[in-house]
């Protein structure tokens, strides 16, 4: 019998570092000549993250228009397509950052109904270390409720961005997480220093499977927490003789940051792609970060700008505000552009295909 494909879910709130980690895992596995497939997921489509993975030559499928839990058959369809096309040893899947209750709705159903095809790893949840320091997990807020539930249901908890934290801070965060979820294994991880990376890879390599009990969740609160976010996805096309992709993305994100309270900015990201360059820049709260550059940071000629933002806002207002930002910055830079597509909405109430409790 063929070996089962190992299915690994990397959850965690918006901006916690899922795509960054998944890309590193993929690079490592590919350098060892192991076959791997990736599934990205979002409430919208045409994702910055899918672009980010694709330009790196990794096989990727996108489950757009809803999360894995509410589109479970789509997740399976994409996984089976990867199996047919690539026969991967590993499939790494990134759920929507505002999703929780993944044990009951995704990992246990995978194990129960598709256990013959896939070996589903324990649920890995990334916790944004600096955000945990800032009390963003405070259950009195809707966003905090979601983040906390994600932490509580994890089987493996990974504190990310430890390069931005002091040693004492990390120890106190670990204590805090142990209090929230005493049974999960804890890993410290930094994409910058690579601390903890091997430990995460060990979870892939082991044959441990998911199997913890789901943690109770209030679906009304969960729905409200998702609904307070405006979810913007846009694609813009332009042609410019030469531009600095960092400068262009930063100008837009800076303009956007000026319009919202930092606590409301879950994650805004811009990918710029030309034939010779691909860059991804993020804004999380009031922190900017460079997600990566592939090729050069200097683009030219025909280019595409993907703009994704998840910000606490009424959707129409968010769409207007992003269109204005793009217009303002492109005008200042003397770049003509056209909008190919944009869309903005608030996620609907989660309605999972399966829920095993
Ligand atoms: N300093 C630091 N930055 C990191 C680390 N991991 C990720 N980042 C940055 O954080 C930003 C967000 O990372 P992503 O990987 O896009 O986060 P995500 O969880 O996939 O976000 P969503 O897809 O919106 O849910 C990027 O700019 C990354 O470069 C880390 O360990 N240290
Ligand atoms: Mg991502």
Tens digits of residue pLDDT in 38-53? 998 877 776 788 888 8
Question: For residue 142, what pLDDT is reported?
Answer: 96
pLDDT of residue 78 exceeding 90, the answer is yes
The CATH number of the domain where 288 resides is what?
Answer: 3.30.70
The 10s digit of each residue's pLDDT in 10-43 is 999 999 999 999 999 999 999 999 999 999 887 7
- The ligand minimizing its distance to the Cα of 12 is 1
Q: Is residue 355 part of a domain?
A: no
Q: Is residue 192 part of a domain?
A: yes
State the average pLDDT over residues 290-317: 95
- Packed helices 167-180 and 142-153: angle between N→C axes, nearest 10 degrees: 80
Ligand 1 shell residues, CB under 6 Å: 12, 14-20, 49, 97, 160-161, 163-164, 190-192, 267, 282, 289, 291
State the average pLDDT over residues 308-330: 98
Q: Are the C-beta atoms of 222 and 143 separated by less than 8 Å?
A: no
State the average pLDDT over residues 305-327: 97
Sequence-ordered alpha helix ranges (H) in the chain: 18-31, 48-54, 72-86, 102, 108-114, 129-133, 142-153, 167-180, 197-205, 219-227, 245-257, 315-332
The boundaries of the domain holding residue 302 are 229-345
Q: Is residue 136 part of a domain?
A: yes
Q: Do 256 and 213 share a structural domain? A: no
Q: Whose CA is nearest to atom 25 of ligand 1?
A: 14
> Measured between alpha carbons, how far is 150 from 335 in angstroms, rounded to an integer?
42
Specify the pTM. Answer: 0.97
From 187, 175, 198, 221, select the one nearest 12 (Cα to Cα): 187
SS3 228: coil
Q: Do 74 and 39 share a structural domain? A: yes
pLDDT of residue 1 exceeding 70, the answer is no
Q: Is residue 95 part of a domain?
A: yes
pLDDT of residue 161 exceeding 80, the answer is yes
pLDDT of residue 326 exceeding 70, the answer is yes
Q: Are the C-beta atoms of 41 and 68 separated by less than 8 Å?
A: yes
Total tally of structural domains belonging to the chain: 2
Q: Do 295 and 193 share a structural domain? A: no
Q: Whose CA is nearest to atom 3 of ligand 1?
A: 161
């Amino acid at each position: 019998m063929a070996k089962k494909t190992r299915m690994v879910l990397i959850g965690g709130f918006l901006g916690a570092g899922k795509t960054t980690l998944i890309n590193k895992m993929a690079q490592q596995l590919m350098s060892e000549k192991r076959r791997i497939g990736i599934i990205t997921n979002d409430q919208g489509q045409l994702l910055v993250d899918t672009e980010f993975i694709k330009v790196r030559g990794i096989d990727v499928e996108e489950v757009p228009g809803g999360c894995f839990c509410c589109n479970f058959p789509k997740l399976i369809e994409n996984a089976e397509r990867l199996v047919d096309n690539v026969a991967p040893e590993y499939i790494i899947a990134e759920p929507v950052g505002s999703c929780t209750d993944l044990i009951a709705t995704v990992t246990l159903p995978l194990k129960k109904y598709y256990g013959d095809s896939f070996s589903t790893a324990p649920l890995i949840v990334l916790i944004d270390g600096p955000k945990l320091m800032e009390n963003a997990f405070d259950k009195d807020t809707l966003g905090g409720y979601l983040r906390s539930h994600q932490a509580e249901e994890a089987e493996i908890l990974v504190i990310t961005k430890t390069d931005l934290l002091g040693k004492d801070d990390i120890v106190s965060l670990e204590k805090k997480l142990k209090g929230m979820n005493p049974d999960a294994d804890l890993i410290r991880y930094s994409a910058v220093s690579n601390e903890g990376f091997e430990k995460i890879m060990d979870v892939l390599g082991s044959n441990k499977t998911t199997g913890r009990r789901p943690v109770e969740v209030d679906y009304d609160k969960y729905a409200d927490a998702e609904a307070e976010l405006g979810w913007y996805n846009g694609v813009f096309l332009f042609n410019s003789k030469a531009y600095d992709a960092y400068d262009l993305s930063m100008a837009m994100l800076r303009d956007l940051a000026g319009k919202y309270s930092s606590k409301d900015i879950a994650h805004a990201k811009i990918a710029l792609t030309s034939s010779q360059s691909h860059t991804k820049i993020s804004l999380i709260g009031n922190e900017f970060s460079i997600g990566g550059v592939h090729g050069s940071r200097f683009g030219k000629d025909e280019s595409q700008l993907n703009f994704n933002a998840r910000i606490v806002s009424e959707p129409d207002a968010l769409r207007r505000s992003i269109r204005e930002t793009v217009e303002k910055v492109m005008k200042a830079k003397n770049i003509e552009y056209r909008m190919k597509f944009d869309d903005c909405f608030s996620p609907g109430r989660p309605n999972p295909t399966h829920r095993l409790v």
